[in-house]
Each structure stands twice: as C-alpha cells, then as structure tokens.
Structure 1
Amino acid sequence: MSQELEYSATLTGASFMFYEFKQVVSLRLQGFDEQEIREKVLSENLFQYQVNASLKRSLPSVLRRVSVLDDTLSQLMLERSLETGKTVNLYAIMKTDRLFFEFMNEVIREKLESSNYLLEKKDINLYFTSKAEQDVGVASWTEQTIKKLKNVIQRILLESGILKDKKSGQLSRLLMDDQLKKHLIHIGDIAYIRAMGEV
C-alpha cells in the first residue's frame, strides 16, 4: 500500500497522462514486456510528444502506474467508459504516489464525507505545511517544487473529474463503475475507494 512508499516529487514531471497511460495498458495486454514497451514508445513516439526529453521524463511514471494494475483493471480501463478509465488512472496514481494518495485520503475524502464540495487554496497549503512538518524529505523541497506539485495535484483532480473548476474549487463525486468498485474491494484496496470519496 502507498504508505510504504517514500514521499516523492516525481509528480512534477508526470501529471494525469491519461492518453499515455491508455497506450501502455493496451501494449501490456497485448503481451509486451516493460522493455519492449519502452522501446516501442520511444521509437514510434506513441505519446506524440514533440520533445524526446518529455517522453523520457514521463515514461517511467506511466510504466510504474501500469505495473500496479492486474489484468481485470487493465481490461476495465480499456473496455469501460471514459470515466471508468479515468478512475483506474486516478487509482494507479494514488497507488504509486504516497503524497497524492494521502492528499486524496486526508483532504478530498474528508471534504466529500462531510459534504463540503469546496477545495480552497488554504486546504492545499495546509496539507503541504503539515507534510513538511512530518517529513524531512518534504521539508527540503524548494518552493518551486512545492508550487509545481500543487498545480499538478489540481490538474489531476480536474482531469479525473473530482475538481469541476479550478477557479471556484468546486468538487464533485466520481460515479464509480460497480464492477470496478467490486474488484477493488476484492483485491483489498477499499482504502483507495474511500480516498476517492466513495463508501
């Protein structure tokens, strides 16, 4: 579970990346291994990036996210609705990034559980302040890194559908696919369902 992971700032180079995630999930289901996927993505520019450096920066994060999915989650990601695919992506981000999982669990979950649909700037600021107090690693990050992370977190919330509007901070609940919910409960990942504001 995410708690065993170290806090990291890798999200600064890897936002929601839904399109990229989908490409890699599809290749993995076709039987390609990680090395083959890496080569294919780079040689065929599957992410359609203009700059090769961006590709090399984001690919490790996408591969890491895809590696936490089993075949059922991979299939749900590709075969169900766009919303379900985005929820699977959100789950994979939480599963591979402790800072983001805890943000979802400590900030978003609490708000949705108490029917408070407003994410304010101070909520994000307080979260980072408390993490810096708890962890030496987080405390050592530069202001620029923290600023970037705050932006990426908001962008992920926006693209996943949890944040309706960045300006107003309006939150909304995800409508989770029943099959996805059942599967996550079955594999013991109910904490992630709760972190998304579902019960």
Structure 2
Amino acid sequence: MPKTNLQNYAFTFTAGGLLLDEILSLLDYLIENRVNELNDAIKKNDILKTNAMASRVRIVTEIRRRYKAVDSWVWTFLKNSNLDEQKLILFFVMLKATPIFFDFQSEVILEKWRSRDLHLDKNDVLYFFDKKTQVYPDIETRTEATRTKAATVIVRILRESGILVKNTINQPQAADYFWNYFIKHDEAWFLELALLPQHQRKELMDNYED
C-alpha cells in the first residue's frame, strides 16, 4: 500500500486528469522501459495532441512520475484491458503515485461510501485540504487558485475513473479476473479503495488461485 510522506505530498498531478489518451499514445515506451526517450518523442505533435510544447513537457513529466510509482506489469495489463478496466488501472496508478489522492480516497471517499453519504463535490476536497494543513503545513502556502485547481482535478479524476458519476460516489464494476490481477501482484488493498464491499473482497480472496 502506498505510504504518505511530506516530501511527496504535492500537487504535481494537476498537469492532467487520468491522462488515459496520453498514456495510451505513449504506452509502448512505458512497456519497453524507454521513458528516457519520451522528451524526444513528444517533439512530434502527432504523439500528444497538444500544440504547446510546454504543455507536452508537463504531461510527460507527470506520466514519468506515475510510471515510476508502479511495477512493470501494470503497463502490459493496461494494454490488454478494455476501456473501463483501463480507467480503473490508471486510477490505481494515481493512488500509488499520489499520496494526497490516496489519502483523499481512503479518508473521505471510502468513509462517505461506508456511511452512504454519497454526494461529493469540489468543496469536499477543499475541506480535506484545510484539515490536512495541520499535518502538512506546506499546503497552506499554496495559493487559493492552486488548491482550487487541485480540487477540480481530483474530482475530474474520480469521474473519469468511474468512482464518481456526476456528483454521486459509485462502485465501478469489473469482472473477477480483473480484480484477481491485483491480488496476484500483492495489491489486494486496491479492492477496498475501489469500493468493493467486504463480502465481495472476501469471496475473491477465498477463491483466488494463482
């Protein structure tokens, strides 16, 4: 399970949302461990559909950060999955790569889900930031505009991944084989943060065969 520390409790993820299209367009580089070639690759505008070179560099910097947070099996799994599964895989990557996102999912989304308080919007994220300033005072040094952008991006990621439908927390659906892949790679914690109920998690774990 990802560990939180002050050094990486940052807002760098605001370079984009799930970055599904961008990551898929660069997926061969990730699978083949050629991330050092990405800066050269994006000089061709047909790879990332963003005109400004500075924007492409920010996106690639963020993709590289997420790439380093997970094991290599993730990218092959991503390539062989359907669209809805791909969104969930990149949600998993975000949880691994971004402690502030992981903490929000585990401390706010999961608790709301358990209590059936299913409404969520940007204000819930901003309130979470305010509470976290007691532990991570660096958050308080961020401008209001930066915090608002970060909150907006978090809500966007939740919607893109299927955890949030409009402003309602939702349990995404996937086949057993999909969840078994995380069990196989010792990432079973993800099932709970993907909002699978306890009985379903237990059944998957009990029936899992390597």
TM-score (ref. length: structure 1): 0.87
User: Unaligned regions of 5+ residues in structure 2, if any?
Assistant: 202-210
Give the Cα–Cα distance (whole angstroms) in 2 for the partners of residues 126 and 192 of structure 1. 24
Alignment of 1:57-136 (within 5 A): 57-136=58-137
Query: 1:151, 1:121 → 2: CA distance?
Result: 6
Query: Which of residues 14, 20, 23 in structure 1 aligns to 2:22?
Result: 20
Displacement of 1:41: 2.6
Match of 2:4 in 1: 3
Count of residues in Structure 1 that have an aligned counterpart in Structure 2: 195
Comparing 66-75 and 98-107, the one that deviates more: 66-75
1:175 positional shift: 1.2
Alpha-carbon distance, 1:65 to partner: 1.6
Between the aligned partners of 1:127 and 1:8, the Cα distance in structure 2 is 14
Q: Which amino acid letter does the alignment assign opposite residue 74 of structure 1?
A: W
Deviation of the 1:43 alpha carbon: 3.3
TM-score, normalised by the number of residues in structure 2: 0.83
Structure 1 position 45, deviation (Å): 4.3
Q: Whole-Å Cα distance in 2 between the matches of residues 121 and 155 of structure 1?
A: 10
1:179 is aligned to 2:180 = no
Aligned-partner Cα distance in 1 for 2:121–2:67: 31
Query: For 2:124 and 2:80, how far apart are their aligned partners in 1?
Result: 35
> Are residues 121 and 80 of structure 1, via their aligned partners in 2, closer, same or farther at CA, if it must alter by over 3 Å?
closer
Inter-partner Cα distance in structure 2 for 1:32 and 1:46: 17
Q: Distance in 2 between matches of 1:27 and 1:6?
A: 25
* Closer/same/farther in 2, CA of residues 73 and 88 from structure 1, 3 Å limit: same
| 1:42 to 1:179, Cα distance in 2 relative to 1, 3 A | farther
Secondary structure in 2 aligned to 1:54? helix
Deviation at 1:118, TM superposition (A): 1.5
Is contact 1:7–1:99 with CA below 8 Å preserved after alignment? Answer: yes
Quick one: percent identity of the two aligned structures? 23
Is the partner of 2:134 in helix, strand or coil? helix
In structure 2, relative to structure 1, the CA distance for the partners of 1:179 and 1:25 (3 Å cut) is: farther
Deviation at 1:145, TM superposition (A): 0.7
- Taking CA–CA contacts closer than 8 Å with sequence separation of 6 or more, which of the two structures ends up with the larger relative contact order? 1
Relative to structure 1, is the Cα distance of residues 120 and 69 closer, same or farther in structure 2, using a 3 angstrom cutoff?
closer
